[in-house]
Amino acid sequence: MNEHSWRELVGEERPVGFDQVAIGVASSDTMRSWSKGEVKNPETINYRTFKPEKGGLFCERIFGPTRDWECSCGKYKRIKHKGVICDRCGVEV
Protein backbone atom coordinates (compact mmCIF):
# COMPACT_ATOMS: atom_id res chain seq x y z
CA MET A 1 0.00 0.00 0.00
CA ASN A 2 1.55 3.28 -0.97
CA GLU A 3 1.75 6.15 1.51
CA HIS A 4 -0.72 8.37 -0.34
CA SER A 5 -3.56 5.84 -0.13
CA TRP A 6 -2.73 5.13 3.53
CA ARG A 7 -3.14 8.80 4.37
CA GLU A 8 -6.51 8.95 2.60
CA LEU A 9 -7.70 5.88 4.50
CA VAL A 10 -6.65 7.12 7.93
CA GLY A 11 -7.34 10.79 7.28
CA GLU A 12 -4.10 11.88 8.91
CA GLU A 13 -1.34 14.09 7.61
CA ARG A 14 1.36 11.97 9.21
CA PRO A 15 1.51 8.42 10.58
CA VAL A 16 0.37 7.95 14.18
CA GLY A 17 2.85 6.27 16.53
CA PHE A 18 1.98 3.92 19.37
CA ASP A 19 3.71 3.59 22.74
CA GLN A 20 1.97 0.36 23.73
CA VAL A 21 -0.86 -2.01 22.85
CA ALA A 22 -3.05 -3.77 25.41
CA ILE A 23 -4.98 -6.98 24.71
CA GLY A 24 -7.61 -8.37 27.05
CA VAL A 25 -10.28 -11.05 27.22
CA ALA A 26 -13.80 -9.86 26.39
CA SER A 27 -16.58 -10.46 28.90
CA SER A 28 -19.52 -12.72 28.07
CA ASP A 29 -21.87 -9.70 27.88
CA THR A 30 -19.55 -8.00 25.39
CA MET A 31 -19.43 -11.12 23.23
CA ARG A 32 -23.24 -11.36 23.26
CA SER A 33 -23.48 -7.75 22.11
CA TRP A 34 -21.25 -8.60 19.10
CA SER A 35 -23.37 -11.60 18.08
CA LYS A 36 -26.32 -11.51 15.74
CA GLY A 37 -28.11 -14.42 14.14
CA GLU A 38 -29.16 -17.95 14.92
CA VAL A 39 -27.73 -21.32 13.94
CA LYS A 40 -30.53 -23.19 12.14
CA ASN A 41 -28.85 -26.50 11.23
CA PRO A 42 -25.85 -28.53 12.46
CA GLU A 43 -23.89 -28.53 9.18
CA THR A 44 -20.52 -26.81 9.19
CA ILE A 45 -18.71 -26.76 5.84
CA ASN A 46 -19.73 -28.09 2.41
CA TYR A 47 -17.36 -30.95 1.59
CA ARG A 48 -17.30 -30.12 -2.15
CA THR A 49 -16.85 -26.34 -2.09
CA PHE A 50 -15.24 -25.98 1.37
CA LYS A 51 -17.54 -23.00 1.99
CA PRO A 52 -19.65 -22.56 5.15
CA GLU A 53 -23.23 -23.85 4.93
CA LYS A 54 -26.01 -21.24 5.12
CA GLY A 55 -27.62 -21.31 8.56
CA GLY A 56 -24.94 -23.70 9.84
CA LEU A 57 -22.36 -23.43 12.58
CA PHE A 58 -19.99 -21.31 10.46
CA CYS A 59 -22.67 -19.33 8.57
CA GLU A 60 -21.33 -16.15 6.98
CA ARG A 61 -24.55 -14.29 7.80
CA ILE A 62 -23.84 -14.77 11.50
CA PHE A 63 -20.06 -14.56 11.68
CA GLY A 64 -19.26 -12.31 8.74
CA PRO A 65 -17.66 -13.02 5.38
CA THR A 66 -14.85 -15.55 4.96
CA ARG A 67 -12.93 -13.17 2.70
CA ASP A 68 -12.50 -9.52 3.68
CA TRP A 69 -14.79 -7.08 1.87
CA GLU A 70 -16.50 -9.82 -0.18
CA CYS A 71 -19.91 -11.45 0.25
CA SER A 72 -20.28 -15.22 -0.12
CA CYS A 73 -21.90 -15.10 -3.57
CA GLY A 74 -19.32 -12.64 -4.94
CA LYS A 75 -21.73 -9.87 -5.93
CA TYR A 76 -20.03 -7.27 -3.72
CA LYS A 77 -16.25 -7.13 -3.69
CA ARG A 78 -13.80 -4.48 -2.43
CA ILE A 79 -13.84 -2.07 0.49
CA LYS A 80 -16.09 0.46 -1.29
CA HIS A 81 -19.08 -1.77 -0.39
CA LYS A 82 -18.28 -1.74 3.34
CA GLY A 83 -21.45 -2.16 5.42
CA VAL A 84 -23.64 -3.25 2.48
CA ILE A 85 -25.85 -6.31 3.02
CA CYS A 86 -26.03 -8.48 -0.11
CA ASP A 87 -29.57 -9.06 -1.37
CA ARG A 88 -28.66 -12.51 -2.75
CA CYS A 89 -26.83 -14.15 0.14
CA GLY A 90 -27.59 -11.83 3.09
CA VAL A 91 -23.94 -11.40 4.12
CA GLU A 92 -22.81 -7.97 5.36
CA VAL A 93 -19.64 -6.91 3.57
Kindly state whether residue 79 falls inside one of the protein's structural domains: yes
Name the domain count of the chain. Answer: 1
**How large is the average pLDDT for residues 57-64?**
88
Predicted confidence at residue 80, as pLDDT, reads: 92
Over range 26-49, report the average pLDDT. Answer: 86
Within a domain: residue 21?
A: no
User: What's the pTM?
Assistant: 0.57
Q: Which domain holds residue 83?
A: 37-93
- The answer to whether position 8 is within a domain reads no
pLDDT-derived band at 12 (thresholds 50, 70, 90) equals low
Whether residue 28 lies inside any domain: the answer is no
Question: Looking at the predicted structure, is the pLDDT value of residue 75 above 90?
Answer: yes
45 located within any domain: yes
Q: Is there a domain that residue 15 lies in? A: no
Does residue 31 lie within any of the structural domains?
no
pLDDT given for residue 36 in this prediction: 75
Three-class DSSP labels, the chain: CCHHHHHHHHCCCCCCCCCCCCCCCCCHHHHHHHCCCCCCCCCCECCCCCCECCCCCCCHHHHCCCCCCECCCCCCECHHHCCCECCCCCCEC
Q: Is residue 53 one of the residues assigned to a domain?
A: yes
